[in-house]
Structure 1
Amino acid sequence: MSRLADADPDCRQQGDAGVPVETVIIPNMRDIGDFSVRRILPAPKRRAVGPFVFFDHMGPTTFNPGAGLDVRPHPHIGLSTLTYLYEGSILHRDSLGFKQLIAPGAVNWMTAGRGIVHSERSSDTARAQGQTLMGLQVWVALPKAFEQCAAQFVHYSVASLPEIEADGARVRVVAGECFGAHARLETQSPLFYADVNLAPGGVLKIDADYTERAIYLVTGAIEVDGCCFSDGQMAVLKPAAEIIVRSATGAVFVVVGGEPLDGPRHLWWNFVASDRELIEQAKADWREGKFGHVPGDTDFIPLPEA
């Protein structure tokens, strides 16, 4: 598996005339009501990286005292959501009855399967004090065999996530197996998600352990084989290429990936499915109030008109 290691100064592959980056994705800004997000996946150049079909960078957004995040209850099918924060907090509630405050470095992993409803809001304390909120939320499409599984929710604290430090890099393994460590989080398909903090002058080697991989820059800048990438960019890596990442000034980024999906996926609103009929059924179920309810939360987001 990938490990932190001393890097060869030349990261080009034998016989490869170019850099080991397949494409670079520049996010679009999307307004989600309380604030704007950078939408990285899906993109015209790339619909997915491994099973990751949706990738949002939230904030940083500052809420003044008295204001806060209010994403009303809404449904999901056919996916798992992973929420990972760098600043601020979000209070998660769902139709299974879970109520969980997520703080920076912790992990919320919600598997929708055949259907779940959840809300994401600021806690009373965060709303009273005000806060700056910044983090990532990604969706992982479930394999066809798990699309109709029962909904589940798990939370992992910062202390439960394995970390590796070497060569000026601190790697926190959030999901899957990578860099010589295995996260506690159980996933339904081969994938990995690692949060990396690279100190000035630090070096990180990313081996070709998975077919599809990508680097997303949260802050700072990195260099891969002579090419520079800055915050807000996603570099999709070429299959089988070993990657050497360097940073002269320091950077925070995530490395994600996995094996290709077992067929195409359809995305509509908050629904992901291998069969359009599953999405049409989910539309009808939400319209008719058949998804269940979030305890203590009577509001909801109606089905979009288009």
Structure 2
Amino acid sequence: MSKSNDQSLLSLLIAANEQLSRTSETAMLDAEVLLCHCLNKNRSFLRAWPEHQPSEEQIAQFQILVEQRAQGTPVAYLTGQREFWSRNFKVSPDVLIPRPDTELLIELSLSLLPTDQPCKIIDLGTGSGIIAITLAAERPLTQVFASDLSSAALDVARYNAQQLKAGNVRFAQSHWFDNIEETGFDLVLSNPPYIADNDPHLTIGDVRFEPDSALISPDNGLQDIRQLAEQARTHLKDQGQLLIEHGYNQQTEVQAIFHECGYRQINTHADLSGNPRVTSGIWKPL
């Protein structure tokens, strides 16, 4: 890409699209998002003013980001943010990049949480806080707890909670329930690590740059799910619900774990692509 300062938005996008098309299936979208980030404008500006000539500094910043994207760095890490449930969240290489699949957890949780009375829920392995903060914003009467083992991830989550004015979220550093003393939760939910360490998907796409601790779990990706299901029993109230996101091919194994742990009314719910994505169960002690 040329570094001349007489380039228009359109010419910059054409050159970036050509460069990124070798490594990205969404080359033009990537280029547009990165250019908007450098300009501090939205994508409609690109459509309205294709002949606009950015400053030399903006062009230089854009070209650096395009080169990094061409090397595989996720767009969300380059811009430092990603939209989820119509809100912008800060992200960093310390946390997973929010994905549309996880919106199913939000939909299911909102269907279980009343709008007119308080509840108590916990999001385990909160990462950037997208689940906890979204539910706190959508259900302001709900007391939301959020935990993560990573202090760096919690820093990102706390920042997002502050920026999005989610004052009903409390954060704690904990490996699952190890440091959680609260009990009587109406809802326990998590998007835990569930990928096996030999999964070929780990070598392609954005996951190459995401933290292994948030992706990989021993025992064919099931160890953390099993630990969550076991520990949640002593923290859920009678008739409380457990919701866990998992891999598209783990439905049978996850349902078996829920059965072994004594959950009732176990169901697996499909995401927008039709893949089994979240398993739920009700805790009722014998």
For the criterion TM > 0.5, the same-fold answer is no
| Superposition TM-score, scaled by structure 1 size | 0.27
| Superposition TM-score, scaled by structure 2 size | 0.28
Q: Which has the larger radius of gyration?
A: 2
- Between Structure 1 and Structure 2, the one with more strand by share is 1
Greater relative contact order (CA < 8 Å, ≥ 6 in sequence): 1
